[in-house]
Structure 1
């Protein structure tokens, strides 16, 4: 079995920890508990007939200006940038955030995920999709378990490339 370090990054409160809890434990909680530093979870997934142990690094969210320690990014095989579709400030400067993640991690392809789709109507969601300046890979809802597994499978595919 191979192990791959993958990162979840993005502003505070976008649902990174909720996505991980939904994926690893199939649980969801309305309680917001801020991640301090980094929290590592793991889950074994089967992808293209091989077992891969994902070491999922839940990197504490920022409000944009704080520096994240480079050590968190070392050795990462893939990264998922998560934003909150209901909070404009989490995706307006997405290019700047992605450039920072790419620089720190050395990764060129980052999986882009908009979370909390349960908070918007289809029309509002389409407006967000049209506003975001980069291609969004998936729109998820950790609460409703919508496309969460797909997001992590996409991350797994990135990790083993």
Structure 2
């Protein structure tokens, strides 16, 4: 079995912890508990007849002007940037945010995930897609467990590159 460090990053309150809880524990809570610093969860996934132990680093959310310690990013094999489909301020500056993650982590490909699909209509989601200047890799709902497994499967694949 191989272990891979993967990161979940993005603004505060976008649902990073909820995505991880849904993936690792199959549970969802409406209660918002802010992550302080970083929280590490693990889950073993099977990919191409190989077991991978994902060390999932839930990096505390920030505002655009706050800096995340570079040490959190060191040694990461893959990263997912999560934004809230329902909060414009979390996706207006995505190009710069992703560039910062690339610089800090040294990773080329960052998985871009729009979360909280359950709060919007299909028409509203399409409007968000028009506003976001770069392709969104996946639209998820931690609450309804929609595309959560897929997001982490893609992350696991990226960690092997």
Instruction: Specify if TM > 0.5.
Output: yes
Whole-angstrom distance in 1 between the partners of 2:88 and 2:38: 24
Q: How far is the alpha carbon of 1:129 from its aligned partner? A: 1.0
2:106 corresponding residue in structure 1: 106
Give unmatched runs, 5+ long, in structure 1: none
| Matched residue count | 161
Task: Give the CA deviation at 1:130.
Answer: 1.4
Which residue of the partner structure matches residue 93 of structure 1? Answer: 93
Partner deviation per Cα, 1:43-87 (whole Å, 9 max, x = no partner): 000011100000000000001111100000000000000000000
C-alpha distance in 1, partners of 2:157/2:131? Answer: 27
Whole-angstrom distance in 2 between the partners of 1:115 and 1:67? 22
* TM-score, normalised via structure 1 length: 0.99
Q: Over the residues paired in the alignment, what is the CA RMSD in angstroms?
A: 0.4
Q: Which residue of 2 aligns with 1:124?
A: 124
- CA distance in 2 between partners of 1:5 and 1:79 (Å): 9
Question: Does structure 1 residue 68 correspond to structure 2 residue 68?
Answer: yes
1:94-143 CA distance string (max 9 Å, x none): 01100100000000100000000000000000010111111111000000
Q: Which residue of 2 aligns with 1:143?
A: 143
**In structure 1, how many angstroms separate the alpha carbons of the residues matched to 2:129 and 2:156?**
24
Unaligned stretches of 5+ residues in structure 2: none
Moved over 3 A (4+): none
State the secondary structure of the residue aligned to 2:22.
helix
SS in 1 for 2:11: coil
TM-aligned CA deviation for residue 18 of structure 1: 0.1
Which secondary structure state, in structure 2, belongs to the residue aligned with residue 33 of structure 1? coil
Matches of 1:115 and 1:130, distance apart in 2: 16
